Amino acid sequence: MSSTLITPDNFNSIVPEGDDHERMVCSDCGFIAYENPKIIAGSVVTYGDQILLCKRAIDPQKGRWTIPAGFLEMGEAPHEGAVREAQEEACATIEIIDLLAVYSVRRISQVHMMYRAVLAEPVFEPGTESLEVALFSWDKIPWDDLAFPSVHWVLNHFKEAQGKTGFAPFSNPQGWEGV
Amino acid sequence: MSSTLITPDNFNSIVPEGDDHERMVCSDCGFIAYENPKIIAGSVVTYGDQILLCKRAIDPQKGRWTIPAGFLEMGEAPHEGAVREAQEEACATIEIIDLLAVYSVRRISQVHMMYRAVLAEPVFEPGTESLEVALFSWDKIPWDDLAFPSVHWVLNHFKEAQGKTGFAPFSNPQGWEGV
């Protein structure tokens, strides 16, 4: 392979034989650069009746609040990714309860797998991607300063699921099915 | 970009600034080739009390039976991917009922999202990736000729879920949690 030179010009969008979608294919070596949707793994983390939120230290939406969530990494199960993200963004050790919601954001080819989780002890601090981490009671959630529509969705679905177990995970709320 | 030559030699596995995982990074232009788990979308499709299976025309596991399933494509929601796969592999028009299971196969960085679905009419035929498509009653399922462990899992979970609605999706069965 080291003798093969690849330039961006070598990659053309064609439908490989036996396929039915266009892929970026190298005209020199035939390498197919498959691109597929990515999974965002995250969790609504509670301590008592309070919810853990992180103020983003990075763009997009720097300075706005979100739940701990991020791209699933190779070799991880989604619930493991949610645990890692809580550790990375909030230095919080969480325990996953169940799968709360599966959202699709087709425009950016993301599938969000959102869990319910609990914090055993109120021990947390901002990770490198957070400016601030805090626990909020429901009526203190900074609704006008949430980072993404999906943070609204998952907090409302969390509220709707309170006291329930063994339910089908929520999906995109009404009006947002096609995004 | 067209003036930049990229060779496989230019890509080194390093931890980019602000990241905490190794990525393949081009030493010339800094391009980061992120790699993330892929979603397999599929469905247990029924017509009456029979289940639709496809005999694979391609490797891996050519000649063995599977449910319609495959890699989620850019811009798709998982349930839409399951609908497309049933069309492609079995020329079957299905209606999704609910999310039956979410499996993780860490070794190959896959997350399987498996749905329950029905066939309105018993109309199907092999797509290009199938040698044969057929409906099987439960006691006629070719258990010894199923293509993948996850086909066993999902068929057994389908059986376990019969008559139930509004349940939490199944996950990797006991003994297979860590795969």
Average pLDDT of chain B?
91
What pLDDT does residue B132 have?
98
> Looking at CA atoms only, how far is residue A3 from chain B in angstroms?
8
Closest residue on chain B to A11 (Cα)? B2
Residue A5's pLDDT band, with cuts at 50, 70 and 90, is very low
CA distance B6 to chain A (A): 5
- pLDDT for B59 equals 94
Q: Using CB atoms, pick whichever of B21, B71, B104 lies closest to residue A73.
A: B21
Tell me, which fold does domain B1-35 have in CATH? Answer: Ubiquitin Ligase Nedd4; Chain: W; (2.20.70)
In chain B, the residue whose alpha carbon lies closest to the alpha carbon of A177 is B77
Is the pLDDT at A68 greater than 80? The verdict is yes
* pTM for this predicted structure: 0.89
Question: Which ipTM score applies to this complex?
Answer: 0.88
Is the Cβ pair B75, A169 closer than 8 Å?
no
User: Does position A47 have pLDDT exceeding 70, yes or no?
Assistant: yes
Least confident of A35-39, A95-99, B25-29, B87-91: B25-29
- What is the C-alpha separation between B76 and B105, in angstroms, rounded? 21
The strand pair at A65-66 and B11-14 is best described as unpaired
Q: What mean pLDDT is reported for chain A?
A: 91
Are residues A104 and B77, on separate chains, in Cβ contact within 8 Å?
yes
A16 touches chain B (CB under 8 A): no
| pLDDT per position as a tens digit, B103-128 | 999 999 999 999 999 998 999 999 99
Q: What is the pLDDT of residue B144?
A: 97
Contact residues on chain A for B20, CB-CB shorter than 8 A? 88
Q: Return the domain boundaries, chain A.
A: 1-35, 38-161
Please list the residues that pair with B135 across neighbouring strands: B52
- Ordered alpha helix ranges (H), B137-179: 149-161
Task: Report residue A2's pLDDT band, with 50, 70 and 90 as the boundaries.
Answer: very low
List of residues 6+ apart from A79 with CB closer than 8 A = A41, A96, A99, A115
Residue A160 confidence class, pLDDT cut points 50, 70, 90: very high
Q: Please compute the mean of the pLDDT values over residues A63-81 and round it to a whole number.
A: 97
Whether pLDDT at B3 is above 50: no
Interface contact flag, B111 A74, Cβ < 8 Å: no
Interval A131-145 mean pLDDT: 98
More confident residue, A136 or A21: A136
In tens, the pLDDT along B60-93 reads: 999 999 999 999 999 999 999 999 999 999 999 9
Q: Which residue has the higher pLDDT, B31 or B149?
A: B149
pLDDT at site A146: 98
Q: Classify residue B150 as exposed, middle or buried by CB count within 10 Å of its CB (0-12, 13-18, 19+).
A: buried
Among A36, A77, A78, beta carbon nearest to B38? A36
What fold does the segment set A38-161 form as a domain?
A: Nucleoside Triphosphate Pyrophosphohydrolase (3.90.79)
| pLDDT given for residue A8 in this prediction | 56
Q: Is A154 helix (H, G, I), strand (E, B) or coil?
A: helix
CA distances from A144 to A147, B47, B53 (A): 9, 48, 49
pLDDT band of residue B12 (cuts 50, 70, 90) is confident
Report the alpha-carbon distance of residue A84 to residue A165 in Å, rounded. 24
DSSP state of B44: E
Instruction: With beta carbons less than 8 A apart as the criterion, state whether B96 and B82 touch.
Output: yes
Please report the pLDDT score of residue B82 as a whole number.
Answer: 98
Over residues B122-140, the mean pLDDT reads 97
Mean pLDDT of B156-163: 98
Mean pLDDT of the B7-14 span: 70
**A119: left (phi > 0), else alpha (psi -120 to 50), else beta?**
beta
For B27-47, write each residue's pLDDT tens digit: 777 777 788 999 999 999 999
